[in-house]
Amino acid sequence: MIQFVFGSQWGDEGKGKLVDYLAADADYVVRFHGGNNAGHTVIVGEKRYPFHLLPSGILNPKAIGVIANGVIVDLEVLLEEINNLAKDGYLLKNKLLISPRCHLIMPYHKALDEAYENARGKNKLGTTRRGIGPTFADKVSYNGLRMYELLDWKGFVEKFTFQAKIKNKILKLFGVKPISVKKELVKLAEHRKTILPYVREVYPVLQKAQNDNKKILLEGAHGVMLDIDWSPYPYSTGSNIIRGAINTGAGLPVSRINRSWAVVKAYLSRVGGGPLPSEFFGKTADQIRERGKEFGTTTGRPRRIGWLDLEAVKFTTSLAEANRLAITKIDILTSVKEIKVCISYKLNGKKISYVESGYRELAKLTPIYKSFPGWTEPIDKIKKFSRLPKNCRYYLKFIEDFLQIPIFYIGTGPERSQFIKI
Ligand code: GDP
Ligand code: IMO
Ligand code: MG
């Protein structure tokens, strides 16, 4: 059984919590794209675990965590995550595999991300400044360094020094302080020792797992609206987010995926710049932001708030071939008097689809809304769909009918146990 979880909006839909739930009986939990721009939260009792690189399902004692080749890795961030889990008794020895094909996010990538963002001034994109774009750029221009290079330290030092010297020249052009090659190499030498025991080719492991009918759970990062090809570029992130990325990023055949879970937040949020047709402001937006704790898991930035955009989600769920919906954070809409949903777009009086709109059109078009009456009853302890307030059920049914994909999970709170299974 292979399951795939992906974000159907602009990220932070609640993927981490769903992955943690689905991982309860998984044999392998796999990240296959993106980097530590991802921030996936799992809450266990009083403890909050923000996962950036480790798969969010790793808390499950049975599951082996896999960081497959499509992921780009900042060693410092990964080691911090491993150490934080160890403090709570989650030991990853023999429980984590990292592909030697993963590209490394280097200190100069972070410096370049920062320098580009600062230089863009008012046109900044709002990246997480984690070095994501520059690392993927180096990967496709053959200037990247893979985890594999760490196996031969002498060779690594030579390649790192060559790249760092060139990047330092670019940083100088930006008027930014260059990185210290010597100091960074001292840190990298330390990180290397700790990370190498986890590094091995994961392809045969995942192939055997699928041949043995093991349960494999693939954790998408970000939201499809940020996909490098299908987003309103350049308001994007550096990787592909759709099913096809599983084939390139983990070597698994997409035809073998049984369940494709689209995580749909009952409203939407976005961090970073770019057009967001259903964005709204004011008291209700502020209330949703506060109650929904809509502040970036990675950067802490306040998230922009919008109504659920079904025109966009219709596109992403079709592109990613979703066959199951997980609706999250419906509890946050309790007490919102009038809930709106964007059902189509109009530009100059004519209908226009999401896929036909570039960033200029998305910024100008008019979202067409359908309004729903809200409910006031708290729903965070409800365990059965039939017990939800009538208006809430009506809202959920509308989403299901509109997208023509069945709902299998409804998130009713941030805690592990707060959900309705259908
Ligand atoms: P991800 O990036 O998609 O994994 O999402 P994040 O973890 O960045 O953001 C989702 C936030 O909402 C986290 O703080 C979660 O703990 C929280 N969350 C997830 N599902 C629910 C839900 O159904 N209700 C509420 N109230 N919070 C949720
Ligand atoms: P999760 O996995 C929300 C956004 C950034 C920025 C754009 C480019 O938690 O859903 P980058 O640093 O990737 O080059 O920034 O992408 N972005 C996310 N926004 N959640 C995420 O991940 C994101 N990953 C990238 O805010 O707009
Ligand atoms: Mg997140």
**Chain segment 94-137, per-residue pLDDT in tens:** 999 999 999 999 999 999 999 999 999 999 999 999 999 999 99
Is 316 part of a structural domain of the chain? Answer: yes
Which residues does ligand 1 sit against, CB inside 6 Å? 7, 11-17, 39-41, 43, 293, 297, 328-329, 331-332, 411-414
Q: DSSP labels for 283-299?
A: HHHHHHHHHTT-B-TTT
Q: Which of 295, 306, 309, 324 is nearest to 410 (CA)?
A: 324
What is the model's pLDDT at position 214? 97
Question: Based on the domain organization, do 241 and 309 belong to the same domain?
Answer: yes
Find out whether 198 and 99 touch, Cβ atoms under 8 Å.
no
Mean pLDDT across 300-308: 95
Domain boundary among 146, 170, 198: 198
Q: What is the pLDDT of residues 179-199, one digit of tens each?
A: 999 999 999 999 999 999 999
Dump strand ranges (E) for 205-349: 216-219, 259-265, 268-270, 304-306, 308-309, 324-328, 338-347
Judging by beta carbons within 10 Å of its beta carbon (0-12, 13-18, 19+), is residue 331 exposed, middle or buried? buried
CATH number at residue 165: 1.10.300.10
pLDDT value at residue 33: 98
Q: Does 62 share its domain with 118?
A: no
pLDDT class for 297, splitting at 50, 70, 90? confident
Range of the domain at 20: 2-85+203-421
What are the residues whose beta carbons fall under 8 Å from the beta carbon of 152, sequence distance 6 or more?
A: none
Residue 113 domain-assigned?
Answer: yes
| Ligand 1 atom nearest to CA at 38 | 2
Which of 181, 198, 215 is the endpoint of a domain?
198
Q: Assign 307 to helix, strand or coil.
A: coil
What's residue 231's pLDDT?
96
Q: Is 331 annotated as a binding residue?
A: yes
Q: Does the pLDDT value for residue 377 go beyond 90? A: yes
> Has residue 57 got a pLDDT over 90?
yes
| Catalytic residue flag (residue 12) | yes
**pLDDT the model gives residue 232:** 96
Where among 198, 219, 254 does a domain terminate? 198
Q: Residue 9 pLDDT more than 90?
A: yes
Query: For a substitution probing ligand 2, which of 235, 237, 305 has the most ligand atoms within 8 Å of its CB?
Result: 237
340 assigned to a ligand binding site: no
The answer to whether 329 is annotated as binding is yes
Residues 314, 415, single domain; the answer is: yes
Task: Assess whether the C-beta atom of 7 lies below 6 angstroms from ligand 2.
Answer: yes
Residue 95 located in a structural domain: no
Which ligand has the shortest distance to the CA of 16?
1
Question: Which letter does DSSP use for residue 354 in this model?
Answer: S
pTM of the model: 0.97
Please report which confidence band the pLDDT of residue 299 belongs to, taking 50, 70 and 90 as the band edges.
Answer: confident
Residues in the chain: 422
Q: How remote is the CA of residue 44 from the centroid of ligand 2, in Å? A: 24
Structure tokens at 165: 């010297």
| 224 φ/ψ angles, rounded to the nearest 5 degrees | -60, -25
Please state the domain count of the chain.
Answer: 2
Domain for residue 283, yes or no?
yes
Residue 171: band (very low, low, confident or very high) from pLDDT cuts 50, 70, 90: very high
Confirm whether 52 is a catalytic residue.
no
Looking at the domain assignment, is residue 97 inside a domain? no
Residues 212 and 281 in one domain: yes
277 lies in some domain: yes
CA–CA separation, 340 vs 371, rounded Å?
4
Residue 413 is assigned to a ligand binding site: yes
Distance in Å, CA 13 to ligand 3 centroid: 7
Residues 141 and 55 in one domain: no
Per-residue pLDDT of 240-289, as tens digits, reads: 999 999 999 999 999 999 999 999 999 999 999 999 999 999 999 999 99
Name which of 237, 267, 328, 274 is nearest 35 in CA terms.
Answer: 237
Q: What is the pLDDT of residues 211-240, one digit of tens each?
A: 999 999 999 999 999 999 999 999 999 999
Q: Distance between CA atoms of 302 and 210, rounded to whole angstroms? A: 40
257 is in an annotated binding site: no
Question: CA-CA distance, 30 to 40, in Å (whole number)?
Answer: 14
pLDDT at 237: 98
What does R_g of the chain's alpha carbons equal in angstroms? 21
124 C-alpha vs ligand 3 centroid, how far in Å?
20
Query: What is the domain-level CATH number for residue 244?
Result: 3.90.170.10
Give the pair of three-digit tokens for residue 57. Answer: 């399902």
Ligand with smallest separation from the Cα of 270: 2
Both structure tokens of 287: 């209330």
Q: Based on the fold, state whether residues 161 and 235 are members of the same structural domain.
A: no
pLDDT confidence of residue 27: 98
**CA 309 to centroid of chain Cα atoms:** 18
Stretch 396-405: mean pLDDT, rounded? 98
Which pLDDT value is given to residue 298?
81
Cα(79) to centroid of ligand 2, in Å? 21
Q: Among residues 20, 27, 33, 40, which one is catalytic?
A: 40
Buried b (16+ CB within 10 A) or exposed e, 240-260: bbbbebbeebbbbebeebeeb
Q: Would you state the pLDDT for residue 281? A: 97
Contacts of 324 (CB under 8 A, 6+ apart): 259, 260, 261, 262, 405, 406, 407, 408, 409
Tokens 């570029």 sit at which residue?
A: 233
Ligand 1 atom at minimum distance from 410 CA: 23
The ligand with the least distance to the CA atom of 232 is 2
Beta strands in 120-253 (DSSP E): 216-219
The average pLDDT across 378-407 equals: 98
Helix, strand and coil in the chain, % to nearest 5 = 40, 20, 40
CA atoms within 13 Å, Cβ hemisphere of 350? 5
Q: Are residues 207 and 345 in the same domain?
A: yes
3-state secondary structure of 403: helix
Q: Are residues 194 and 207 in the same domain?
A: no
Q: What is the mean pLDDT of residues 342-361?
A: 97
Alpha helix (H) residue ranges in 174-282: 181-195, 203-211, 244-250
Residue 98 lies in a domain: no
Mark whether 358 and 261 lie in a shared domain.
yes
For 99-148, give the DSSP string.
Answer: -TTPEEPPHHHHHHHHHHHHHHGGG-----SSSHHHHHHHHHTT---BGG
Ligand 1 mutation target, pool 5, 41, 293, most atoms within 8 A of CB: 41
Please, which residues have CB within 8 angstroms of residue 346's CB and are 6 or more apart in sequence?
352, 365, 366, 368
- Tell me the mean pLDDT in the region 160-170: 98
User: What percent of the chain has pLDDT above 70?
Assistant: 100
- Does residue 132 fall inside a structural domain? yes
